[in-house]
Amino acid sequence: MRHLVNFGLLFSFSALSVTGVLAYLRPFSITVTQIHIIAGFVTLVLVLMHMLARLPYFKNRISKGRQGASLRIQVILFGTVFGFLVYGSVSSIPPSSWLIDNSYEHRNSSQIVRSSSLVGFEEPAPHRKWIVRQSQDDNASGLSIYLSFQEELNPMPSISVWAESTIGSMIETLYLEQSLAYSEVPLWEDYKTQRSHILPLWRHRYTLLSGIKPSGEVDAVSGATESHRFALDPYLQAGKGNEFVICVEINAPNDPDKSFSDPLLGQPSLLYTCLVDVDSDEPYYLFDLTGHGGGDALETGNIQYDLDIIGSAKKMKDLFLVKLEK
C-alpha cells in the first residue's frame, strides 16, 4: 500500500504541476481545468492516506523533547510563510503579485471576454446549445436561449450571443465561443484569424461598449458611460415597458462560394435577432435572419442587409428560440 500511495502521489502531483503551468501560460481550457481538479482531488486523498499511515511517526516526532520543539517551530514558520503567500495572492501584493502579473490571463486581460456569472451554458447534443441568463432580482424574469443547428453541419460555426437596446447599443455579451474568448487572433481551423473578421458585428459593438479596439488600444471616443446600463438585469424587470433585442451572430469556416472566394473566411457571418417584450404574455420568441457581416461591416460594424448574395450559410440554422422565464 505504501508503494501504491507513493507512485500515486508521483503521477497525481505531476498532473497537477503540468496543468498548473498550462493554466498559467495558456488561455483557459476546460479540459486542463478538469484534469487539474481530478488530479487535485486524487492528491488530497493520497496525502490523507499517507498522513494516516504515518500518524504514529508525527506524534512521536512532535512529542520528543528538544527535537519536538524544533519541529513545532519549523511547522509554525512554514505555516506562516504559506499563509503569507496565500494572503498575498488574494490581496495582490508582492511577491505573489509579481507571479500573477506575468500569467496569460493578466497579460491578455484586455482581450479576454467573459460572460456574467449569472449566465450558464449547456450543450445537450453536439448541434444544440442552451444559454441561460438568470436575474439577480427574484421578481425579474430569466432568459433561456436555445440554438439548434442542422445535424449534418461540420464544422460547427463560431457563435456570439448578446443583448442590445432597441436603439442598437450593446447591453451585455451573453455567450462567446470559448475558442474566440481569450485572444483577438485565435486559431480558427488551425489558422490565426482576426476575431473581428470572424464575428465583426459582435466585435464592433463590443468595442463601443468596452472601449477596447481589436488592436488592444483604448478607444477614447467610445466605451462605458455613466448614462448607459451595461447589465441586462434592469431590462428583465416587468411592468416597466422594457424591450430589448437578443442577437446571435454565427460564422462557419471553409464555406466559400461564387460571391465569397476566400477559402477560410468564405461566406460572411449571419446575424439573427428577436425583439423581447418583457411585459408580453407570450414567453417564446423566434429569431429572424436580419443581415450579415460582410462588405464594410468588417470596418464599420454596420449590418449588411443584402441577404440574396448569401448561399449555403443560410442552411446552418435549424431552430433559434428565446424563452422568457417569468
> Cα(first)–Cα(last) distance of the chain, in Å?
56
Q: How many residues does the chain have?
A: 326
* CA nearest to 157, candidates 40, 274, 317, 1: 317
Q: Where are the beta strands (DSSP E) in the chain?
A: 119-125, 128-133, 142-149, 158-164, 170-176, 187-188, 191-192, 243-251, 270-277, 284-286, 288-292, 317-325
Q: Please tell me the pTM assigned to this model.
A: 0.78
Q: What is the pLDDT of residue 220?
A: 53
What DSSP line would sit under 176-237, residue for residue?
E-GGGTT-SS-EETTEE--HHHHSHHHHHHHHHHH-B-TTS-B-SSSS--TTS--SSGGGG-
* 3-class DSSP assignment, residue 116: coil
Between vectors from CA 177 to CA 133 and to CA 150, what angle results, nearest 5°? Answer: 90
Contact 171, 165 (CB under 8 A): yes
Q: What is the pLDDT along the chain (326 residues), one digit of tens a residue?
A: 778 888 899 999 999 999 999 988 888 788 899 999 999 999 999 999 988 888 887 777 666 656 667 777 887 888 898 888 788 878 888 877 888 888 887 787 778 888 888 999 999 988 999 999 998 887 788 999 999 999 999 989 999 999 999 999 999 999 999 889 988 998 898 889 999 999 999 999 998 888 777 766 666 554 544 434 458 999 999 888 999 999 999 999 999 988 898 888 899 999 999 999 999 999 999 999 999 999 999 889 999 999 999 999 999 999 999 999 88
CB within 8 Å of 114: residues ≥ 6 apart: 181
Q: Measure the CA–CA gap between 37 and 39, rounded to whole angstroms.
A: 5
